Amino acid sequence: MQLQNLKMRSVVNGLSIFVSLFIFSNTFAQAEVSNNLKYCDLIRFSHYKNLCYKMVQEEGIPEYAIARSLLFIEDNENNAITVDHKERTQDKTEMVKRDVVVRSQFVAIVDFNKPSTEKRLHIINTGTFEHVKSYVTHGKNTGGLKPEGKNSFSNEDNSNKSAVGLYLTGPFYYGSNGKSLNLYGLDTTNSNVSMRDIVIHKADYATDDFIKAHGMLGRSLGCPAVPPEIMKNEVLVKLGEGAVVYLHYNGIEPVKLPSANHNNAPYFE
């Protein structure tokens, strides 16, 4: 509903579908998003382009990542997605199936094309398109200051690498890094993250002070770790269960899982 209201606001502001398509075809024809989404999804995303323009042009947030996230929400808001969840108890851990209801208020996008010394995590309010930027780590085997190509990412257990693609967030749990947020991968590039214990958690090595001391952020075992204050004031408050997260890297085109039961998420050429 929130995204439907955004589309109406876009039209009221004078962005008709014909004008949107004209701008989209001419101004953004060479953009990354047009190379990866099918034409029907380009048309649908045109509703949002004037609302996203500042974030893309001034903040450098990857347009494709925004498109994939918003179109997924548009297709699946308030629907339940069945995911593989790691159930953790004092006695054992086991993989189980659980349903997660998709929510639309906030999305989080990580741009791994930027080095760890830049604030490359964006938590975006889909109602106002205001957003908060933060540092975020990548896996210790993913690269140096920033990832260095397709082989730097992995969906394999014990790779200690980050996994790109579309995610849903699960419930919070208390682990070795304090209160953490479960993640569920919806693409072939990140389908094993729950089994791998890839979660959002706080880390002292994800802070500005660590950069000043070491020249870069520390490295995780594949988790997108964030500064403690961002975990407390942003992740714990705004994301929660059912939010959409997208980890992006240019040149890697995640494909949604064939077994995923979500509706018409953007397909790839």
Terminal CA-to-CA distance of the chain, rounded, Å?
28
- For 255, counting Cβ atoms within 10 Å of its Cβ (0-12 exposed, 13-18 middle, 19+ buried), the class is exposed
| Domain boundaries 2-248, corresponding CATH code | 2.40.440.10
Q: Residues near 40 by Cβ (< 8 Å), separated by ≥ 6?
A: none
Distance CA 96, CA 107 (A): 25
Contact criterion met (CB below 8 Å) for 95 and 106: no
Residue ranges of the chain with per-residue pLDDT less than 50: 10-32, 263-269
Distance CA 111, CA 143 (A): 14
The predicted structure's pLDDT at residue 11? 44
Polymer length in residues for the chain: 269
What pairs with residue 220 in β-bridges?
139
Instruction: Note if the pTM is more than 0.95.
Output: no
The predicted structure's pLDDT at residue 3? 63
The predicted structure's pLDDT at residue 44? 73
Q: Tell me 61's DSSP state.
A: -
Q: Tell me 47's DSSP state.
A: T
Tokens 């918003």 — which residue? 70
Three-state DSSP state, 42: helix
Distance CA 121, CA 65 (A): 12
The predicted structure's pLDDT at residue 1? 61
Q: Which helix (H) or strand (E) holds 100?
A: strand 93-101
What does the block give as tokens for 158?
């014990």
The predicted structure's pLDDT at residue 13? 45
Distance CA 146, CA 143 (A): 6
Contact criterion met (CB below 8 Å) for 245 and 103: no
pLDDT tens sequence across 232-266: 999 999 999 999 999 999 988 787 876 555 544 44
Positive or negative: CA dihedral 141, 146, 152, 158? positive
What does the block give as tokens for 136?
């975020």
